Chains A and B, each alone.
Chain A
Amino acid sequence: MELFNGGSIALKDIPLLEKKEFRGEVLLRCRDGARLANLFGSPDGGGGVRLIAILGQDEDPELQILATTISAGSARYESLTAELLQAHLFEREIAEQWAIVPEGHPWLKPVRYHANYRGVPDIWKDIGEQTIPGSYPFYAVGGEEVHEVGVGPVHAGIIEPGHFRFQCHGEEVLHLEIQLGYQHRGIEPMMCGSGMKRQALLSESVAGDTSVGHSTAFCEAVESLAGCTVPIKAQAIRAVALELERLANHVGDLGALGMDAGFLTTSAYFGRMRGDYLNLLLELTGNRFGKGLCRPGGVLFDIEDSMAEDLCRRLTRYKKEFEEVSDLLFTSPSVLARFEGIGTVSLEAAKSLGMVGPAARASQLEYDVRSDYSSGMWQFYHVPISLAASGDVYARALVRRQEVMRSLELLLKLLPSLPKGEICASPGPLKPETLAVSLVEGWRGEIMHACITDSHGALARYKIKDPSFNNWFALTLAMRNQEISDFPLCNKSFNLSYCGHDL
């Protein structure tokens, strides 16, 4: 079955394939160039679990939906991972959430350490009771000259918790294993038990730095289920907020990259400029991180003409400032020497891992939700995809710089010609037994929310996929055979979310 971004489809219209057929079909389509955008389980009402795969062709604006049923009696299926690397984390997640064994999974370990949703014995005994990493033995490299370095979950900087286990030979990293899950809050089940007001707040808290991105994705999914038409002005305001969020984070990241390379001058300027964009969000929404703006049906705060003019005037100034400071960063030989050739991810690797966002585009993977699955305002405004070829820290910085410039250009085009009219419609009741999928290009990349309603029109399953979920594994790959002292720089160039992954 096929579905547009922001579309919905009745569950009975999704054909259920046999397990074997499902596996064959997913593998076949992925071999033909599709990307596994999501793979998740959902209760099928009869004690079993319905597995839903969402595939994206990327040049085709339609998403492909495939489904199969795993009966409660035999909670196992043949794993996809051995033939499709992108599936590895999705399958681990399914194993943990639904206690379904993906047979033949090469590296089946828990993701977030919680009890399964079905209330049956877990695959890993009492996983919900254990503190991370439980009894899991980290991958270790043998030999007298190899030493192991463990960093975190408590870090020296003000960042989120995560454990990084390096196997090193001298300064060279042979292997890095990342253990996350410390931030698990159980947002997905919480979404299903809450009213719509609370759901909107929850969606803003999936990842604090992507509030606008996740709340837009949530709203679009719910609006699609409610069959509600969002006023065009509300869509424009959401786009403005989304771009401001992107600007704040990309500019902050460029500053942080400079800081980690020991180049303090630009990091101080970028740090201040990040504050400028956050302050614009504050003026727009009353919150520096854009919370409280997007609600099902539209947005809560309007941009009046005078405000749009003021925003334009300031953004023009910020653009000039950004150009000057980023020129300083990108023309300093000592900075380039730190960025170039570090943490390279090849296009092949990016494709097989299913990477998304700026990190993928830095490896020349041409994919941006805004142009490939355009919905809302993006149907009227085209943002060129920012690409770089080298796949290293430099490329990831360069893509950010390009995206900042293009976001600024877009805002300067969009703000003077904001549509007129209402900013909020009221969403009606949700369609029963329906699947809705929404995609948003957050600043880290593709955000996907998929929700399924029960027979009363209440949410029965809410699946959130943050771009970090796709990209964390790329960081371990990027660190292979690099110097351990370059890890902070490499990590910062991805700047992935811990809580977006841990949910």
Chain B
Amino acid sequence: MSSLLNVTFPVLAHWMIVCLLSPFFLGVIARVKAFFSGKAGPPVLQPYFDLARLFRKKCVYSSTATWVFRAAPVIILAAMMALSLLVPFGICKAPVQFSGDILLAVYLLALGRFFMILAALDTGSSFEGMGASREAFFSCLSELALFMNFITLALLTRSISLARMIGADVPIVWGGMEPTLLLAVASLFIVLLAENRRIPVDDPETHLELTMIHEVMILDHSGVDLAYLLYASALKLFIFFGILVSIIVPVRTGYPVTDTAIFLGGMLGLAALVGIVESSMARLRLNRVRLLLLISFALAFFGLIVTLWRA
């Protein structure tokens, strides 16, 4: 009994932190964008209000939707929650760690996306079909860059466990490895923008169904299902932020309060950076997105070459 508690308690605590904090950063990004537009903007807690509102609503299903459509939101949210267990956030260690869990992480991301695409196709709507095809195409390219970066990190840290690779347990030593790490961080930042469908890849705020990627795939979802999907997106963003901040800020003072402050500062800084990027540029034309993703891949590729050469 006590051993069961020993296992479940860290998991539950981790989930609680992740679920409580993740929508906050969407609010921060919205506030940064509002600032640059000269507007007051919505409250930082608006994503929480939105989620609370949606959780009180019922779902509406089209008569052509099958079980895939109904199951997808749950599976996607579950995949992201499972993924969050592999990722450390500041002083919260990853509750689940084993050698090779990086593969699990990548496949959990892929599982979420797979069901997202299936659910979109399941509606039979021409818009959602277009969104699904775009999602499938762009994620092919971004996954490539993501894998390449993970290989680099694995070589650097001599580990194939996600938490170790991003330097949560043994901080990554930047000294001497700056070129590789800079390339990897730049590449991962592009992957972050692409995976979370932010500007310049997708516009999370547009109402134009013909231009959307992610937003168009969730057009038919409503109520609790939509809340699950929004929560899953918030988690995904939070996870990517966590991974990047962990690499960029390898400072571990040993004092829990200071470490937490540094980590949260890094997360806020990253959210502000995303907001600044979104305010300072327009969306790319859809046929140029692949070029951005190939740049991300090229950065990762050179990072890997430098690592191999140094090693």
Contact = CB atoms under 8 A, between A and B. Distances in A.
A binds B: yes
Contact of B210 (A258, A332, A487): A487
Interface stretch (A13-21, A116-124, A145-153): A145-153
Interface string A148-181: 1111000011000000000000110000000000
B240 to A, nearest CB: 20
A156 B129 CA distance: 17
A265 B279 contact: yes
A338 B285 contact: yes
B126 A338 contact: no
B283 A338 contact: yes
Nearest to B278: A264
Contacts of A149: 126-127, 130, 210
B63 interface: no
Contacts of B310: none
A151 B282 CA distance: 24
A268 B209 contact: no
Interface string B96-140: 000000000000000000000000000000110110010000000
A372 to B, nearest CB: 36
The secondary-structure label for the interface of chain B is loop
A309 to B, nearest CB: 28
Contact-residue size bin, chain A (C-beta under 8 Å from the other chain) = 20 to 34
A33 interface: no
Interface residues of B, number: 31
B283 A261 contact: yes
B282 A262 contact: yes
Nearest to B33: A264
Given A148-B126, A149-B126, A483-B286, A488 B279 contact: no
A334 B281 contact: yes
A337 interface: yes
Given A149-B130, A337-B284, A485 B211 contact: yes
Nearest to A489: B211
Given A264-B33, A265-B37, A485-B286, A151 B281 contact: no
Interface string B252-295: 00000000000000000000000000111111111110000000
Contacts of B239: none
17 contacts: A147-B129, A148-B126, A149-B126, A171-B130, A262-B199, A264-B36, A264-B278, A265-B36, A265-B280, A268-B37, A269-B38, A334-B282, A334-B283, A484-B130, A485-B210, A485-B211, A487-B210
Given A151-B210, A337-B282, A338-B282, 5 more contacts: A151-B209, A170-B133, A263-B283, A484-B210, A488-B208
Interface of A: 147-151, 156-157, 170-171, 258, 260-265, 267-269, 272, 332, 334-335, 337-338, 342, 483-488
